[in-house]
Structure 1
Amino acid sequence: MNIAAMIKMTVAMAIFGSIGFFTVNTGIPAEELVFVRCICATLFLGGMWFFTGGYKTEKWSRQEVTQTLICGVFLVFNWVFLFKAFEEMSISVAISIYNLAPIFVLILGSLILKEKMTVQAVMAVIVCFLGSVFIIGLDQFTSIEALFNSGFVWAMLSAVCYALAMFVGKGITHLSTYALTFVQTMVGIVILPPFLDFGVFEGLTTSNWLYILGTGLIHTGFVYYLFFDSLRKLPTIVVSALVFVDPVVAILLDIVILDFRPTLLQTAGIVLIFAGIIYTLIKPSKQIVELPQV
């Protein structure tokens, strides 16, 4: 076991878990925050890619670049939807639903690639569905308006987009992780401006800017470096286990700092969701851990 890589991965996932806390303190909407995040990631990881000389050994192909661009679109919208979910619901609930992405990968494999779902996979999907109903509350499903206002749709869309990013990106084998991230965050810089209101950056406090830059430089630059640097040095089963550090930290911060108090039904929902996701540990798949959680 590469202990140094394991420590880096653990630190990366722990910092990832604090992104919800940073997001709610930035003072700007999801779209603008993701735009800043893309700029920071492009500069930071693009610089690492350049100074390490990795760009010289890249093996580019039209098919993989096309896949990476499509993957980038899904990844950017995954961020936007997740941050919008943070605006409408507690971080614990949003993160729990967001972590359903591996379950959606199983479903996509069954529908698109005609992969046969095992009994365990079907049970995992059912358990996670019940967990989602419990964590949101049955009262939120009584009308479309209540469902949208709860943030459930945003959180679910973020999970679906993340699953699509994993699904599309699983066939990319020649491009380095730095090249992948550089191209994907460049996609965000290109597609987001028409949807932005740059006026939201006026009148922000020093504290707001610290949280904004922290989200970009720490959560997207430095942490992605730690994640990618350790990813290829660890067994898939270890990475699959360590990604759970992310939601655990997020939920703890939500409870300790933001005073989130889950009801008994919500607690049961969180337990059911992660019980279903643990299926990925029983039969791990590389495609499920190829990208960082957020």
Structure 2
Amino acid sequence: MIIAMSIFGSVGFFSVQTGVPALELVFVRCICATIFLSLAWYVTGSYKSEQWKSKEVMQILFCGLFLVLNWVFLFKSFELTSITIGITIYHLAPVIVLLVGSIFFKEKLTMFAVLSVVTCFVGTVLIVGVDASISMTDLMSSGLLWAFLAAVCYALLMMLGKGVQEMSSYTVTFLQTALGIVILLPFVNFTEFYDLTAVNWFYIIATGIIHTGIVYLLFFDSLRELPTAVISALVFVDPAVAILLDIVITGFVPSVIQGAGIVLIFVGMVFAVKKPPTDHSLTEKA
């Protein structure tokens, strides 16, 4: 899990080195991941025990739509803002899950959940800036809105994906990335690939095979072996690596106010994954 999260933490750095726009990069990523994961699906023999249910397949495909949009929006944010700020806003997803769950599914907000929402909101305001004159055009051009949309799509993906129980992780991801190819194909501008260098192609293929195929294999295999508390803690490895690479390699230095906002969002994330003490009486009733 640590290796998977560390590799994925470098996806922002790789994406800005590819030399292609977000949509075209995600298209190639879907192709590479589909080929790689279908081979893994076959080699591991998972295809022999698959239980195909039309309802679950449709649910997976809906998740695939949000997965593809999530990737496009995230890479678009990297084009317009620093990796540090983009990845920080993107990791608001667990907080969005809490809010959506409380509003639409009437899930009770715990003290930690409320602290998470408030802390992340303040952190986001500090990152965006407190200038009242900021316009929607400014937000769009800064990449912050794209990062937030990526977070929303990821949150929806997490909620919709909860009910997928029967099909293997390889099949789920294969179906989703294959759907991405179909969805994005009509919108791809293939002229974007004409003047790329060998270095550009290295980063493009690496983003598809390493950051999607290999990372997903490592991630899904480790999920079966680790307790939820450890998984929740290791989620922070990804943004930590991304921010470190952004500072060390690209030279990004956040302002003091932005730095405070970044810290607050990660503190809020801790509250989001923090579970309250178990009430045994409630557990027994359930």
User: How far did residue 195 of structure 1 move?
Assistant: 1.4
> Shift in Å at residue 140 of structure 1?
8.0
The alpha-carbon distance between structure 1 residues 232 and 196, as it changes in their structure 2 partners (threshold 3 A), is same
Structure 1 stretches lacking a partner, 5+ long:
1-8, 285-294
Q: Does 1:85 align with 2:77?
A: yes
Cα distance in 1 for residues equivalent to 2:47 and 2:35: 14
State which of 246, 250, 268 in structure 1 corresponds to 2:238. 246
Match of 1:173 among 162, 165, 174: 165
Q: Secondary structure at the match of 1:241?
A: helix
Distance of 1:138 and 1:192 partners within structure 2: 37
Rounded Cα–Cα distance in structure 2 between residues aligned with 1:111 and 1:40: 38
Q: Is the CA contact (8 Å cut-off) linking 2:70 and 2:150 kept in structure 1?
A: yes
Q: Distance in 1 between matches of 2:100 and 2:274?
A: 19
Secondary structure of the 1:230 match is: helix
Q: Which whole-Å CA distance do the structure 1 matches of 2:132 and 2:222 have between them?
A: 41
1:8-43 residue CA offsets vs partner (Å, 9 max, x unmatched): x10110000000000000000000000111111111
Q: Is the 8 A contact 1:240 1:280 kept in 2?
A: no
CA RMSD in angstroms comes to 1.2
Report the alpha carbon displacement of residue 138 of structure 1 after superposing the two structures with TM: 2.2
Tell me the secondary structure at the aligned position of residue 138 of structure 1.
coil
The reply on whether 1:43 has 2:55 as its aligned counterpart is no
Q: What does 1:257-268 align with in structure 2 at a 5 Å threshold?
A: 257-268=249-260
- Is 1:188 the equivalent of 2:180? yes
Q: Deviations over 1:227-270 (max 9, x none)?
A: 11111111011111111100000000000000000111011001
When structure 1 is superposed on structure 2, of 156-165 and 222-231 the one drifting more is: 222-231
Residue type of the alignment partner of 1:271: V
Residues 1:20 and 2:12 are matched in the alignment:
yes
Equivalences for residues 147-158 of structure 1 within 5 A: 147-158=139-150
Percent identity of the aligned residues?
60
Residue 94 of structure 1 and its aligned partner are, at CA, apart by 0.3
Indicate the SS of the match to 2:59: helix
Q: Aligned with 1:24: secondary structure?
A: helix
1:144-194 per-residue CA deviation (whole Å, 9 max, x = no partner) reads: 111111111100000000000001011111111111100110110110011
Check the 8 A contact 2:112/2:272 in 1, yes or no: no
SS in 2 for 1:269: helix
Give yes or no for the alignment of 1:108 onto 2:119: no
**Partners of 2:68 and 2:180 within 8 A in 1:** yes
Structure 2: distance between partners of 1:67 and 1:110: 22
Residue 196 of structure 1 and its aligned partner are, at CA, apart by 1.0
How many Å separate the matches in 2 of 1:56 and 1:150? 48
Secondary structure at the residue paired with 2:106?
A: coil
Aligned counterpart for 1:30 among listed residues 16, 22, 33: 22
Within the candidate set 195, 219, 224, 1:203 is matched to 195
Residue 251 of structure 2 aligns to a residue in which SS?
Answer: coil
Q: Deviations over 1:76-128 (max 9, x none)?
A: 00000000000000000000000010111111111221111123212211110
Uncovered stretches (5+) of structure 2, i.e. residues with no partner: 277-286
Give the number of the structure whose alpha-carbon radius of gyration is greater: 2
User: Are 2:116 and 2:272, in contact at CA under 8 Å, matched by a contact in 1?
Assistant: no
Name 2:112's counterpart in structure 1.
Answer: 120
